[in-house]
A and B are shown apart, each in its own frame.
Chain A
Amino acid sequence: MTDLSIMKKNKRIPEQLVYLLIYTSAAISVLLLAGIIGYVFIKGIGAVNWGFLTNVTSVLKGTTGIAGNIVNTLYIISITLLIAAPAGIGSAIYLNEYAKPGKLVRLIEFTTETLAGIPSILFGLFGMVFFGTTLGLGYSILTGSLTLTLMILPLITRNTQEALKTVPESYRNGALGLGTTKWYMIRTILLPSAMPGIITGIILAVGRIVGESAALLFTAGSGYYLPQSGQLIHKIFESGGTLSVQLYLSMSKGQYDIAFGIAAVLLMIVLIINFMTKLLSRKFDVSRKK
């Protein structure tokens, strides 16, 4: 455009102001993230050492550590995924491959959406009264895992659905045309093709579980001991606080050193999870292009 344009002169200053606003907004997210990561690592990395990761907090021995919480977190991740992953994937397969559009599908999809929108504190209340009181599981790792199962179910269902949708229709027709049955086709063609997407969903679910605290505070409780040898199974009926729950408890007791140590560990896990999902989706993209 030349300088002859009258319009341009009139609008130049406000437009630049708008650009400034847009750039500032975008900068806010980046600065916030940099600030959060920087602050947590600077304040927390000093507390993180081998002893902190492998000891259990004990007044008698005079040690502080989060080994028990790490083990609890692993327990809860495994049990939750053991139930939620098959259920979520199965639900997605039904919605995508078997169901015919209609009221039933709408109902299932609406409830899945609803489940995704319920705040974690309400899951916590429900888990406490249903799994804890009605089923008599009390404050235990199992109660916490069952509660989280409900919470991450929509995440896994949705990601699996998305992954299944990207599998070309021709794969299905090809397999069925060769005379395979539907389940055989799903098992040998669909699921392997959709696997990267499904795994991404599961990794995201792990991230959700690691970061969750409100739903666990009143279901899994706050135990921080390591399981005794020979009682690995029995441990799931005992109370066990995850890293996030312990972070909250330390914070409310004013033990900020421990809190920042746990925060640094948590952030590290979040960064690793993020990196892994990135890697997977990139791999997925490449295979799509071929």
Chain B
Amino acid sequence: MKNNPISIIGSRKTKQISETIAHKIFVICAFFAVLSVASITVYMIINGTPALTKVGILELLFGSDWSPTAANPGYGILYVILTSIIGTAFAILIGVPIGVLTAVFLSDVAPKKLAAIVKPAVELLAGIPSVIYGLLGIMILNPLMYRLELAIFKDSATHQFTGGSNLISAVLVLAVMILPTVINISEASLRAVPEHLKAASLAVGASKIQTIFKVQIPAAKSGIITAVVLGVGRAIGEAMAISLVAGSAVNFPLPFNSVRFLTTAIVSEMGYAADTHREVLFTIGLVLFAFIMIINIILTRILKKGNKNDD
């Protein structure tokens, strides 16, 4: 400050200036997120739509012939979309029951000492980089799957052997990766169930298990659904962990087929794709983006509903 610091007028002026500047800067910071989402949306649409008109919407989205580098290229991504949907669905089917039961364990069943082991373990699982899950998938799951494959398709003449890189391996990796998300959010919502509901149920003679499954889980329903939806988002968007585990060919998503997900198609082909092939990969990105946006909208709906119920 140049002016005499005791002067009220001078300092008030500089204060006012720094106040308004601070305020403006915070507003700009806050709009950073809005701006980012807007530009991501615009860029996704700009880059994702040319292929739609070039190849034809129906042929692209519902065609099953994926041979982008052939002399007579086919750009049908139906199997890729189906793989992502089916793979995510099965990962949820495996991961959510285990996750919710673990959440029940942490919120109501566990003795303090055991909870003190399980809780940090779950937190650490969430922090492990996805490439490490991928590495372990290749080194542990794929050999196992290969043995299973050899045993099952011993006499099959038509089966294409994948060396264990198949849909099941990818689903198992995804199921593990969504566990922390499902556990943390379900646990928080189970803990938020009012104590008096639990007490009332126990008082009329229900056992602890009955209370958990008939009272607490229904009461925590919106939180558990949120957990599932977030799990879907995590599973459908995961790329690096499954890109090598799931194999490298586009096939109909059968358990022992080598498959490509929306995400893994982008990861493995973006490096060398050119022209239309590259544009189609951006369309795959756009499809994924559409899925994620739908999931987000569902999520805000659930949260809004949950808030209303609280009121």
- Which chain A residues have a beta carbon within 8 Å of chain B's beta carbons? 7, 11, 15, 18-19, 21-23, 25-26, 28-30, 32-34, 36, 39-40, 43, 86-91, 93-95, 97-99, 107-108, 110-115, 117-123, 125-126, 128-130, 150, 153-154, 157, 181-184, 186, 207, 210-214, 217-218, 244, 247-248, 251-252, 256, 259-260, 263, 266-267, 270-271, 273-274, 278
Contacts and interface: CB of A to CB of B under 8 A. Distances in A.
Given A91-B33, A107-B34, A118-B292, A26 B114 contact: yes
Given A30-B118, A157-B33, A211 B101 contact: no
B110 A26 contact: yes
A244 B133 CA distance: 12
12 contacts: A26-B106, A29-B125, A89-B29, A95-B30, A114-B296, A120-B237, A183-B22, A211-B128, A211-B129, A211-B131, A218-B270, A274-B123
Given A15-B209, A39-B136, A115 B33 contact: yes
A155 B134 CA distance: 24
A23 B120 CA distance: 16
B263 interface: yes
B185 to A, nearest CB: 13
Contact of A252 (B120, B244, B285, B288): B244
Contacts of B139: 39, 43, 256
Contacts of A32: 125, 176, 179
A123 B292 CA distance: 13
Interface of B: 15, 18-19, 22-23, 25-34, 36-40, 43-44, 47, 97-99, 101-102, 104-106, 109-110, 114, 117-118, 120-125, 127-132, 134-136, 138-140, 176, 179, 183, 205, 207, 209, 213, 230, 233, 236-240, 244, 263, 266-267, 270-271, 282, 285, 288-289, 292-293, 295-296, 299-300
Contacts, number: 236
Contacts of A153: 32-33, 36
Given A117-B299, A121-B288, A270-B124, 4 more contacts: A90-B28, A94-B29, A108-B33, A213-B129
Interface of A is mostly: helix
Contacts of A7: 205
A121 B30 contact: no
B129 A126 contact: no
A117 B236 contact: no
Contacts of A93: 26, 29
A39 to B, nearest CB: 7
B136 A22 contact: no
Contact of A266 (B18, B124, B132): B132
B135 A259 contact: yes
Contacts of B130: 211, 213-214
A99 B109 CA distance: 42
Contacts of A128: 270
Contacts of A113: 296, 299-300
B289 A108 contact: no
B240 A248 contact: yes
Contact of A29 (B31, B102, B289): B102
A207 B28 CA distance: 26
A119 B296 CA distance: 12
Contacts of A210: 129
A26 B101 CA distance: 7
Contacts of A266: 129, 131-132
A122 B40 contact: yes
B239 A214 contact: yes
Given A118-B292, A129-B43, A270-B129, A19 B29 contact: no
A127 to B, nearest CB: 10
A116 to B, nearest CB: 9
A122 B295 CA distance: 15
A159 B70 CA distance: 49
